[in-house]
Structure 1
Amino acid sequence: MDILIDTNRLGLSDNPESFNPLLSTIIFLHDSLGCIELWRDFPKKISTLINCNVLSYDRQGYGKSNSFSELKRNKNYLHKEADVLAKLIDQLSLKNVILFGHSDGGSIALLAASLYPKKIKGIITEGAHVFVEKETLQGIRNAKVAYETTNLKEKLARYHGEKTEDVFRMWTETWLSSSFQNWNIESYLPAIQCPSLIIQGENDEYGSMDQVSSIVQKTSGKSKSLIIPNVGHTPHKESTDIVLKKTKDFTLNL
């Protein structure tokens, strides 16, 4: 499997005794430009606060994982990542799995909970997308300008190295392509049976409240929204204390 797993946090290899099979395992799913390192100490804070196992991993092409095996995506690329996640859960024999997905990672969490309901105990999403809208496209166009005119490329290269150009290009080209404009995963939402906490910043530059409304209204399991004022696309960084508290409340009630 061409991904990099942070086994230090889960304790499955370097420190196997730290993994407690009786506890829930929260799997962190990074965004379209993210990786293990960009979660910083947030997973560790969650683990300490909730007393759970935590795991984060670099999807193929990101961070310290292998390079992309394909340099052009189709509309089902997030579905494929949900399949990889399901295989990872089986490979590591994980039980009581809770997903915490940011942006693309949030969409992957929704798809995984829909396609593999027996594997998922609950989901938390931040800035997840279930359809393409003008706010998303404009946010990506703005990011392209920043990539070309600021030090954004250099910042990303600290984490993705020589894969940086591919990471950024595949994100922007996929979402801005004409063939992707009718991408929509709302039909998968009714199959989500587990509880979900849907988080979004009030000032999210990549999506409107319509994304949250659709998820909360269409999922079959108990779904709650958390809209955080004066916050953008990364609530766990911009409003860490609130996200920690609400994550704790959500997981302890599962």
Structure 2
Amino acid sequence: MTAQASSPSTEFASIEWRGRTVRVEHQWIAPERRDAPLLVFLHEGLGSVAMWKDFPERLCAAAGVRGLVFSRPAYGRSTPRAADETWDVDFMHRQAHEVLPAFFEALGIAEAPWLLGHSDGGSIALLYAARFPDAVRGLVLMAPHIFVEDVTIANIEIARDAYRSTDLPAKLGRYHDDADSAFWGWNRIWLHPPFRQWNIEAEIAAIRAPVLAIQGVGDEYGTLEQIRGIARRVPGTALLELPACGHSPHRDRPDAVIAAATDFITAQRA
């Protein structure tokens, strides 16, 4: 009989952020691969540990790496937003410059990991790599944002209406202890008028790590100018534009994403 790997167990780390102690839900994948690179997964604007499902385990197995999956504060089983907490235009910068370093320190991570980010998580990965260029081994990005587009705002407005009028809160409640915390933190800042000027194109030029940027041709939350703009700013960026794919390549085209990410990570290890 072949032994089957056990599912990752959920743990919590505590960090100090925004004047209070915040616990961060996380899971380790294949920690026994001590000599393998570490790949950290950064979820989308409504994501969490649970919402990744089995994608992180599949990718880590294919690439032969260790994995770390976590829910940002306000998401999943991490500490929800405080009742009076609102996010400003710099909310992704604060995640990249404050939360992620504090989280790594709490876990005793001293090595330079790979970062895999989806949507807002991809933008946070870019901002972290730009601020700490020597602390990142490489980036795999899926549908990241580097500026705000009309199509993004239009579909976030649709999501707001759906949250108010459908069973979307109950659906998100499967993945978050406090669905309102997750949804309104994300939705309100993206629809905040000053956020239309958010743009990180100039900042990402400081990135020195290798980058693979993936986007669906049918992405409903952004055009292909998002990843093409990264390629113009970060020399050597590899692009993968996937047909028959929307905003979530790891759900719409998981096999293609796993193959491309595995090849990219393996090539950098050679």
Question: Same fold per TM (> 0.5)?
Answer: yes
Corresponding residue number in structure 2 for 1:30? 43
Using the TM superposition, give the Cα deviation of residue 80 of structure 1 relative to its aligned residue in structure 2, in angstroms.
0.9
2:112–2:134 CA contact under 8 A, matched in 1: no
Distance 1:126 1:49, change over 3 A: same
Q: Is the 8 A contact 1:86 1:116 kept in 2?
A: no
Segments of structure 1 that go 5 or more residues without pairing to the other structure are 12-17
Superposition deviation, residue 67 in structure 1: 1.5
Aligned pair partner of 1:106 in 106, 122, 125: 122
CA distance in 2, matches of 1:9, 1:94: 18
In structure 1, what is the equivalent of residue 146 of structure 2?
130
Q: Distance in 1 between the 2:67 and 2:25 partners?
A: 11
Identity %: 33
2: CA distance, partners of 1:248 / 1:110: 20
d(CA) in 1 for partners of 2:42, 2:50: 12
Work out the CA distance in 1 between the residues paired with 2:212 and 2:95. Answer: 21
Q: How many residues align?
A: 245
1:179-218 aligned at under 5 Å gives the runs 179-218=194-233
**Structure 1 match to 2:11:** none
**Runs of 4+ in structure 1 over 4 Å off:** none
Q: Does 1:81 align with 2:101?
A: no
Range with bigger deviation, 127-136 or 94-103: 94-103
- Residue 174 of structure 2 corresponds to 158
Q: Distance in 1 between matches of 2:103 and 2:160?
A: 32
Query: How far apart in 1 are the matches of 2:50 and 2:44?
Result: 12
- Post-superposition offset of 1:10: 5.7
Structure 2 residues without counterparts, runs of 5 or longer? 1-14, 16-21
Who is 1:9 aligned against?
A: 29
- Structure 1 residues 138, 86: closer, same or farther in 2, change over 3 A? same
Provide the aligned C-alpha RMSD in A. 1.5
Deviations 1:181-208 (A, max 9, x none): 1011111111011110111011111001
Q: Which amino acid aligns with 1:186?
A: E
Larger helix share, 1 or 2 = 1
Shift in alpha-carbon separation, 1:186–1:217, aligned structure 2, 3 A: same
Instruction: Give the TM-score, by structure 2 length.
Output: 0.87
Normalised by the size of structure 1, how large is the TM-score? 0.92
SS at match of 1:26: strand
Query: 8 Å contact 2:75–2:181 — kept in the other structure?
Result: no
Residue 267 of structure 2 is matched in structure 1 by: 253
